[in-house]
Structure 1
Amino acid sequence: MRIRIAQASDSPELAKLYQETVLAIAPQFYSDAQTHSWASFAEDTAGFREFILSGTTFVAVDETGILGFAGIADDGHILSAYVRRDRIHQGIGSRLMDILLDYAKRHRIQRLYAEASEFSLGLFKRFGFQVYDREIVERQGVEFQRYLVERFTLIP
């Protein structure tokens, strides 16, 4: 597995990975309406491209293609963390999280924070993030609960 920075040309493949993963995994935790509302974001070509390019997004790849991606903004906001549906629980999400933590350390970002879903919360907790609140957000008229998580890093 190789890690590289996402490029604009990756957007269609990342959108497909995002949508297929959400459709495969979300029904374990969310209603059909929530799942389809969440997955439909991939169809917003311009919005999804901005989602990928607004921060630094790392892409995990191998000979089969893109395995996952994770993004971080300069202020420590973790923008994304998705793994291809057929490669979940194979260490790819953990590898990407290691990359984000290293990025934060190199850029002297002391606070990392994110909005975690039901199925990403475990990954964040494994890496020392703590839930500090919950929020309800609305997407296309459908409400979701998300966990607000954060982790502080000591910078020497």
Structure 2
Amino acid sequence: MRVRRALAQDISEIQGLIAGTIESTCKDDYDRKQLDVWVSSIKNKRRWNSVLEKQFALVATADDKIVGFASLENGEYLDFLYVHKDYLRQGIANKLYEELKTESERLGHNTMTSNVSKTARSFFECKGFKVIHENKHVIDAVEINNFHMVLRIPDAIKTG
């Protein structure tokens, strides 16, 4: 596995990775309508150009394809962290997370925040993140809940 900065030509593959991951890994925590709305929100091309332009965005590659994607906004907001459904539990999320945390520290931040799905909550809790409150988002009349979580970087749990 190799980690590199995400490029504009990666957008389509990143979108497919995220959509596939949501469909397969989040189905026990969200209903069909919620999954459909969430996946449809991934297709906003203008947002993706902004993410790659303004955020510290990384991809993990293996077997000649993108197997993970993560991004850090303003040095402290972890916006995306997704791993391809066929590459889960291989340390990819850990590697991407550690790269983002290192960048946040390098920029002088002592906290990181994220809005985390029900599915990903336990991963973030294992890293030392704490739930601050539950978010309720309504998109196209469908409510999707997630958790606003915060990590004080000195409290971060190191993983390899």
SS in 1 for 2:61: strand
For 1:6-155, list aligned pairs within 5 A. 6-154=6-154
Q: Counterparts of 2:83 and 2:53 in 1: how far apart (Å)?
A: 18
CA shift digits 1:37-79 (9 cap, x unpaired): 0011222222233344431111101224111011001240111
TM-score by length of 2: 0.90
Q: Counterparts of 2:3 and 2:89 in 1: how far apart (Å)?
A: 17
Q: Match of 2:55, as an amino acid?
A: G
Deviating above 3 A after TM superposition, structure 1's stretches of 4 or more consecutive aligned residues are 51-54
SS in 2 for 1:78: strand
CA 77–34 in structure 1, closer or farther in 2 if over 3 Å, else same: same
Q: Percent identity?
A: 23
TM-score by length of 1: 0.92
Structure 2 stretches lacking a partner, 5+ long = 155-160
Q: Counterparts of 1:50 and 1:112 in 2: how far apart (Å)?
A: 20
**Equivalent residue pairs, number:** 154
Tell me the C-alpha RMSD between the 2 structures.
Answer: 1.3
Structure 1 stretches lacking a partner, 5+ long = none
